[in-house]
Amino acid sequence: MTVVGYGKLFAPKATPIVTDLDGWVPVDGSPSMKTWIEHKADDGKLLTGFWEAMPGTYRVTYKADEFIHLFEGKVTLSEDGGETKQYVAGDSFQIPNGFVGLWKTDERIRKVFVIRIP
């Protein structure tokens, strides 16, 4: 077994992906994102890395479970037919596979993520 280390939040090792993620459709403002995938498991079902987003709103459909820890910023999540919750720097939370709703980046976000693909 090998322990996996990767870059720092403000100095990732990976080259950023600067296109919107699959299942993320801009609906308000001019949101943008950068995704640094720092590690992908051999079976492709576990991804870890860093993410940064600029203000605006996306309509999102999650096709995986995601654990998030916000280092910076503020986001509001509104689930279709469900609750609206706001998260700020220092918060940790999990978004389940199948979540459908709005992701509003209220202030620039920087986060670390762990994604498990079913």
Q: What is the pLDDT of residues 105-116, one digit of tens each?
A: 999 999 999 999
Q: Which residues, 6 or more positions from 26, have their beta carbon under 8 angstroms from its beta carbon? A: 20, 56, 57, 58
Q: What pLDDT was estimated at residue 1? A: 62
The pTM for the full model equals 0.91
Between CA 79 and CA 60 the distance in angstroms is 9
One of 2.60.120.10, 3.40.50.2300, 3.40.50.300, 3.20.10.10 is the CATH number of 25-116, namely 2.60.120.10
- The CA distance from 75 to 53, in Å, is 10
Reported as a pLDDT band with limits 50, 70 and 90, residue 5 is confident
The residue-averaged pLDDT of 16-32 equals: 96
Parse the chain into domains and list their residue ranges: 25-116
pLDDT mean over 12-33: 94
Tens-digit pLDDT profile for residues 36-87? 999 999 999 999 999 999 999 999 999 999 999 999 999 999 999 999 999 9
Distance CA(27)–CA(115), nearest Å, equals: 24
- Does residue 4 or residue 92 have the better pLDDT? 92
Residue that wins the pLDDT comparison between 28 and 9: 28
